[in-house]
Amino acid sequence: MSSPRLQVLGCSGSIAAGSRTTAFLLDDSVLIDAGTGVGDLALDAMARIDDILVSHSHLDHVLAIPLLADSVMKLRLAQPHRGPIRVHALPETLDALRAHLFNGLLWPDFTSIPSPARPILKLEPFAVGDTLSFGAGPQQRRVKVLPAAHTVPACGFAVETPAGWWVYSGDTGANPALWAALKGKRIAHLIIETAFGDDERWLADLSGHLAPSSLAAELAQLDGSVPVHITHPKPGEVAAVVAQIRAIDTAHRVEPLVKGLVFEF
């Protein structure tokens, strides 16, 4: 296996100057979540994306899909051998995208544009526990679909690397199924959300997110010490959230995830 490259395009819980919502680029053709970070890619980089993995239907993770489809359609249709961009998600997530986004009201139905026979987007369901495969030969990538516990059906992802699994929790509250799924696996990096500070722990609990004190209870279930990267705090709250985590959890190396960071293995 050649070494994958994972670039953080966005890791904020919302937007402000310099803050972009969740998106990761695996090598140059697989997008993991499609938040506003995608909008910082050059047009030709956007046009290289063949697959989009979506953790759940919330706007901060999907809103670049319809705009990306619009941006790259002309370039993409000039290369008909590449076929449609495949959007992979849980069936419930794909249903939500069909019903509420690609419905001809909020946005045109790019799953049948420019024609139903040759659309720019194709929706492909997966299930938690599946292992997806992208590319071929030494460039082949394996991505495992992990469980998540959020207010809507949701998942996380683990990308296989020579150094172990690069794990992304997705949006989640307390998630015992995740730790069961990771049991015995070598983890190279854990990207886990902490959407709120402990002053808003009640809101985190209500909205299927983690706060520093609930994150600490999750990390206590990890085997050994792994590099932990915090994603999804709101703009302006990153430093406070990370300081609260470090005050509770001294067993792990905890860093805020940073837009632009590139993981190489």
Contact residues for 97 (Cβ-Cβ < 8 A; gap 6+): 54, 57, 62, 65, 87, 89, 123
**Residue 249, SS3?**
coil
Q: Which residue has the tokens 């794990």?
A: 167
Size of the site for Zn ion (CB under 5 A): 3
C-beta of 160 vs 171, nearer to Zn ion: 171
- CB under 8 Å, gap of 24 or more: what pairs does 31-34 form? 32/143, 32/157, 32/159, 32/168, 33/61, 33/62, 33/170, 34/61, 34/62, 34/63, 34/64, 34/65, 34/68
C-beta of 188 vs 242, nearer to Zn ion: 242
| Alpha carbons 213 and 244: distance in angstroms, whole number | 8
Q: How far is the CB of 58 from Zn ion (least distance, A)?
A: 3
Q: How far is the CB of 172 from Zn ion (least distance, A)?
A: 9
C-beta of 58 vs 229, nearer to Zn ion: 58
Element (H, E) at 218: helix 212-219
Judged by CB under 5 A, does residue 33 bind Zn ion? no
Q: How far is the CB of 214 from Zn ion (least distance, A)?
A: 16
Single out the segment in contact with Zn ion by CB under 5 A; choices: 23-31, 53-61, 69-77, 94-102. 53-61
Judged by CB under 5 A, does residue 58 bind Zn ion? yes
Proportion of the chain in helix, strand, coil states, percent, rounded to 5: 30, 30, 40
239 touches 254 (CB < 8 A): no
C-beta of 161 vs 194, nearer to Zn ion: 194
Single out the segment in contact with Zn ion by CB under 5 A; choices: 26-34, 51-59, 88-96, 131-139. 51-59
State which of residues 51, 60, 160, 249 lies at the interface with Zn ion (CB under 5 A). Answer: 60
C-beta of 34 vs 87, nearer to Zn ion: 34
Q: How far is the CB of 138 from Zn ion (least distance, A)?
A: 33
| Alpha carbons 226 and 214: distance in angstroms, whole number | 18
Q: How far is the CB of 41 from Zn ion (least distance, A)?
A: 20
Q: How far is the CB of 148 from Zn ion (least distance, A)?
A: 9
| Alpha carbons 215 and 191: distance in angstroms, whole number | 12
Q: How far is the CB of 205 from Zn ion (least distance, A)?
A: 14
Name which of 32, 80, 57 is nearest 231 in CA terms: 32
Name which of 231, 240, 221 is nearest 182 in CA terms: 221
Q: How far is the CB of 62 from Zn ion (least distance, A)?
A: 10
C-beta of 171 vs 237, nearer to Zn ion: 171
Element (H, E) at 54: none
Judged by CB under 5 A, does residue 198 bind Zn ion? no
Widest Cα–Cα separation across the chain: 56
State which of residues 171, 218, 237, 249 lies at the interface with Zn ion (CB under 5 A). Answer: 171
Q: Which residues of this chain interact with Zn ion, rule CB under 5 A?
A: 58, 60, 171
